[in-house]
């Protein structure tokens, strides 16, 4: 038996290796990752790791010793160059070949890169890896004006950390509102006001045309407008890493296409995490998710099935974002709703917006409201009386059971 090979060493890979051992698999497990670190958590990168609150040791999903103790062959700094499904092997760019009985592709995603005038100047950063954030933190020490390109969650989390550290912060968003791709106009307006109130300069309908600087960036150009900045963070979305799978002939379409068992178009190759296009039976459609809980759950599902199990992936997507002292917890997609109801008062920074479709709960955006988040996880798809949700005296607990 050649065992199981995992391409990628992110959170899905780390969880899969752990799940395989937990399920009693005693064969070889090889993790091939191109970063230099054991699997680590990415969510804190733009939050507590950037602010310095959390160090490397707390970032690791499990200590390095774990992989040794559990006989998991973790090869970091190792990039896979190709997969040969007909031979059931993968070959690294260094020429090493690994055979597999089952292969898990957990290659994740990479930041979308800006390719415009001056985009190779120093001081322009992307944020995906621990190394990226180490670079940003080093620059932040001497920077005074930071410009963030892209008003998505990553950009806004960085804005919150940078503003809290006393930097001048400008956020540039090409759409007419921040968070346009991921939330409602109402929530966009709330977060816009929040950041503006803390002194962040947000410019919407603004497209970056280039960067200026002598070796190192000194300004961001938006048509005729010049925004001075000695540090730039670009957060304009991600691209799933599907090239290895695609070249190997696996079906890919906005991600590696997998079935509800996390199996690709090759029965011996599975995929998990950001790189997958997967069906969700609870949402009744296919989707690609940029989400840690999804990566972890798909890793568990794929592991069970690689060992001959019959486990179906069926999880409600959920997300979170920390900005300043506010914790936003989300369940489902607000765009699935045909109406919404607010519980609590926005002016207190403690409220939840529930989204209903045909009277059934399909999503929540909960700001500093963990109860509402937890109730939505359990109420998903169930019919409720909207005025009850809006009534602060109404006990949410009575909706459960």
Partner 1 sequence: MPQVKFIEFNGTEHVVDASKGESIMVAATNNLVPGIDADCGGECSCATCHVLIDADWQARLGARSEQEESMLDLNPDRTDESRLSCQIPMTDELDGITVRLPEFQY
- How near is the Cβ of 373 to partner 1 at its closest, in Å? 8
Of the pair 66, 270, the CB lying nearest partner 1 is at 66
Of the pair 18, 80, the CB lying nearest partner 1 is at 18
* Contact with partner 1 (CB under 8 A) among 3, 210, 279, 293: 293
The residues in 42-101 that bind partner 1, with binding defined as CB under 8 A, are 43-44, 58, 61-63, 66, 70
Structure tokens at 351: 């409220």
**How many other CB atoms are there within 10 angstroms of residue 336's CB atom?**
15
- DSSP code per residue over 235-290: ---EEE--HHHHHTT--BSSSEE--TTSB-SSTTEEE-STTEEEEETTTTEEE---
- Count the residues of the shown chain that bind partner 1, applying the rule CB under 8 A: 32
344 interacts with partner 1 by CB under 8 A: no
- DSSP code per residue over 83-111: EETTTTEEEETTS-EEE-SEEEE---EEE
> Distance of CA 317 to CAs 1, 35, 103, 254, 283, Å?
36, 27, 25, 18, 9
- How near is the Cβ of 161 to partner 1 at its closest, in Å? 15
311 interacts with partner 1 by CB under 8 A: no
216 interacts with partner 1 by CB under 8 A: no
> Per-residue string for binding with partner 1, 127-166, x by CB under 8 A?
----------------------------------------
- How near is the Cβ of 372 to partner 1 at its closest, in Å? 9
- How near is the Cβ of 188 to partner 1 at its closest, in Å? 22
Residues 365, 372 contacting (CB under 8 angstroms):
no
Q: What is the dihedral of CA 148, 149, 154, 156, to 10 degrees?
A: 50
Q: What is the DSSP letter of 307?
A: T
382 interacts with partner 1 by CB under 8 A: no
Of the pair 342, 374, the CB lying nearest partner 1 is at 374
- How near is the Cβ of 21 to partner 1 at its closest, in Å? 6
309 interacts with partner 1 by CB under 8 A: no
Q: Dihedral sign, CA of 376, 377, 378, 379?
A: positive
**The one segment of 38-46, 120-128, 166-174, 246-254 that binds partner 1 by CB under 8 A:** 38-46
Helical packing angle, 11-22 and 292-306, nearest 10°: 40
Residues 357, 382 contacting (CB under 8 angstroms):
no
> Distance of CA 41 to CAs 78, 242, 296, Å?
19, 21, 11
Contact positions toward partner 1, by CB under 8 A? 18, 21-22, 41, 43-44, 58, 61-63, 66, 70, 292-293, 296-297, 318, 320, 322, 327, 329, 369-371, 374-375, 377-378, 396-397, 400-401
């Amino acid at each position: 038996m050649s065992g199981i090979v995992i391409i990628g060493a992110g959170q899905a890979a780390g969880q899969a290796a752990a799940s395989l051992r937990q399920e009693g698999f005693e064969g070889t497990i090889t993790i091939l990752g191109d970063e230099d670190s054991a699997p680590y958590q990415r969510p804190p990168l733009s939050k507590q790791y950037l602010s310095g609150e959390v160090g490397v040791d707390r970032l690791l999903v499990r200590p390095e010793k774990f992989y040794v103790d559990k006989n998991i062959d973790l090869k970091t700094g190792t990039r896979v160059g190709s997969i040969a499904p007909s031979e059931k092997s993968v070959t690294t760019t260094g020429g090493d070949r690994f055979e597999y009985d089952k292969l898990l592709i957990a290659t994740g995603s990479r930041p979308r890169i800006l390719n415009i005038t001056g985009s190779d100047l120093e001081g322009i950063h992307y944020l995906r890896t621990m190394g990226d954030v180490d670079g940003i933190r080093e620059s932040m020490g001497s920077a005074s004006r930071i410009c963030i390109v892209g008003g998505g969650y990553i950009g806004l989390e960085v804005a919150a950390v940078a503003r809290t550290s006393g930097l001048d912060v400008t956020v540039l968003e090409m759409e007419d509102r921040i968070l346009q791709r991921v939330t409602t106009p109402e929530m966009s307006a709330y977060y816009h006001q929040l950041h503006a109130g803390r002194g962040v300069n947000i410019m919407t309908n603004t497209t970056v045309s280039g960067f200026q600087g002598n070796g190192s960036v000194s300004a961001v150009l938006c048509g005729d407008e010049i925004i001075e900045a000695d540090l730039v963070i670009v957060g304009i979305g991600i691209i799933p890493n599907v090239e290895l799978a695609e070249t190997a002939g696996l079906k890919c379409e906005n991600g590696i296409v997998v079935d509800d068992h996390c199996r690709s178009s090759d029965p011996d190759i599975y995929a998990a995490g950001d790189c997958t296009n997967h069906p969700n039976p609870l949402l009744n459609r296919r989707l690609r998710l940029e989400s840690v809980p999804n990566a972890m759950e798909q890793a568990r599902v794929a592991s069970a099935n690689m060992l001959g199990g019959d486990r179906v992936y069926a999880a409600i997507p959920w997300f979170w974002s920390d900005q300043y002292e506010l914790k936003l917890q989300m369940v489902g997609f607000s765009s699935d709703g045909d109406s919404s109801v607010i519980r609590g008062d926005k002016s207190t920074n403690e409220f939840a917006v529930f989204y209903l479709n045909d009277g059934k709960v399909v999503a929540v955006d909960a700001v500093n409201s963990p109860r509402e988040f937890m109730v939505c996880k359990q109420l998903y798809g169930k019919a409720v009386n909207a005025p009850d949700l809006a009534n602060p005296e109404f006990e949410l607990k009575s909706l459960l059971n």
